[in-house]
Structure 1
């Protein structure tokens, strides 16, 4: 599905210009220097938090402004959300006041949207196999701002939020691991670029998830800061290329992270 939908409602308005319809793409120099208009990409993975079963990544909170109130967002690689673990996730969202939570490695089959207590869950998995899978969960404070959602595939999902003066598109990803074949990695980035290109040009884009990539601590002007971890690998090169093409900045490289967390 390439179009946003909410009960079959198309929420890309007629007068909105998509990113792919701009007059010309920015040059590499323009993309590197135009930090004022750069979209934001969040990416955190970590060690298993104590007392949180089947969770591989600790969530990280950031604030974005939607309408007049700040909203806190996070991302979590849960490894699986079967066997009642949705209740664990909702409990953690409530405990640390997360309004929008992206989930990686969901391992649910099918795709859709449902409501559980005060939370709206948008999810996308494989049709017949409980592998991969992504989801975005929002609490009732945010639910009324959701304009629509895009169930791209079992590795990419997004929702669009009503904001003032501009709307916000939130993307959650679960990238292929380093051991994946080249075709799978290529398909992932092609699909992700297609989704980004189909987002209205004026939207603020916030992308989070498990990228399974290392971008090292060396700063790349307009794309990373000085606090990436590890030695840059081939997956890191691919991630940096995507960020440059899409005017995205990896914000988690701008500050020293806790020692118990691992940046991927």
Structure 2
């Protein structure tokens, strides 16, 4: 999902990553299939992706992930189900940046940033163990915020889902950037456009469920567009994973 804010703020000039992490518990670190976006600037192309890792608890799992993504074209990957206790930001031996936050190794979110973009990272951190954010400097004037989400499963009460959307709003409004990309696993079926709504395109898939309607309402409120649904694709290109029950 994408939002373009009609402001043109200067981006902090320092390329360093303040504190190498979020505010560590103070409550800040701010579904796309390999979202690709072209900028009229020195970052001519930015490839973003979101991935459910299932677990990155061990260093061996991180190495396995890096071996797999080395076959792909990517710049930033938002991670769900990291299952790596605590919060940390490290530079891996590959030179890529790895950030994660979790509490009891039961879920968690994070990012992997390609080594070529590490010096463009202005800020990285989290609002909660299910919502993380990353701010990239893309020109001297413009910045991009990427928000990664791992929503509660259907086994959790609706109150937990509402809390997640509150956390996402906090991530969105914590700092102003010209571009904002919201991605991750929302555990929701958005389906196709309904009742003439403008934030969802006509090329979605499946039937919308209750969680999907919550997501649609949130997009309308915050001004986001579900970008994948605006591009016509073959059916097998509209999904990346099939549940055990089909």
The two structures, once aligned, show a CA RMSD in angstroms of 2.4
Gaps of 5+ in 2: 1-16, 23-30
* CA distance 1:131–1:231, change in 2 (3 Å): same
- How does 1:24-63 map onto structure 2 within 5 Å? 43-44=31-32, 60-63=34-37
* CA distance 1:105–1:198, change in 2 (3 Å): same
User: Contact conserved, 2:132 with 2:149, CA < 8 A, in 1?
Assistant: yes
Using the size of structure 1 for normalisation, the TM-score is 0.73
* CA distance 1:238–1:9, change in 2 (3 Å): closer
- How does 1:16-27 map onto structure 2 within 5 Å? none
Using the size of structure 2 for normalisation, the TM-score is 0.78
User: Contact conserved, 1:215 with 1:233, CA < 8 A, in 2?
Assistant: yes
Aligned partner of 1:103 in structure 2 is 79
Residue of structure 2 aligned with 1:123, choices 89, 94, 100: 100
CA drift of 1:188 comes to 0.7
* 1:33-56 Cα distance to aligned partner (Å, 9 max, x none): xxxxxxxxxx04xxxxxxxxxxxx
Q: Is residue 2:155 matched to residue 1:143?
A: no
> Between Structure 1 and Structure 2, how many residues are aligned?
211
Gaps of 5+ in 1: 11-42, 45-58
CA drift of 1:9 comes to 9.7
CA drift of 1:92 comes to 2.5
* 1:170-223 Cα distance to aligned partner (Å, 9 max, x none): 1111011223112211111111111112221x4200111011111112355331
SS in 1 for 2:73: coil
* CA distance 1:124–1:8, change in 2 (3 Å): closer
Aligned partner of 1:6 in structure 2 is 18
